[in-house]
Amino acid sequence: MFDKYQSLGGHAAGHANRVKQEAVALVVNGGNNDANLERKHQCKVCQREFKSGVALGGHMRKHYAGKVGRP
């Protein structure tokens, strides 16, 4: 569930962009569905790879040494 309409809109736009990206990849690759469509997100600290930017963002908390939360 999304608590704000704007959140839902952003989520839906992500799906639309993904569909468009896959369609372009099919045209560029001559209809070859076996092409790797997944973009890798790599941690600049430990070089670990993630399938999504969200997963990488969660992982980056592991490397954060500062204070968490508000003062």
Q: Is residue 69 part of a domain?
A: no
| pTM for the full predicted model | 0.43
Q: Is residue 52 part of a domain?
A: yes
DSSP 55: H
Q: Is residue 68 part of a domain?
A: no
In the prediction, which pLDDT does 1 show? Answer: 67
Q: Is residue 49 part of a domain?
A: yes
Give how many domains the chain has, as a whole number. 1
CA distance 12 to 26: 22
Q: Is residue 70 part of a domain?
A: no
Question: Which residue range is the domain that position 19 belongs to?
Answer: 5-32+39-63
- pLDDT tens for 12-64 read 777 777 777 777 777 776 666 554 556 688 999 999 999 888 899 899 988 98
In the prediction, which pLDDT does 38 show? Answer: 60
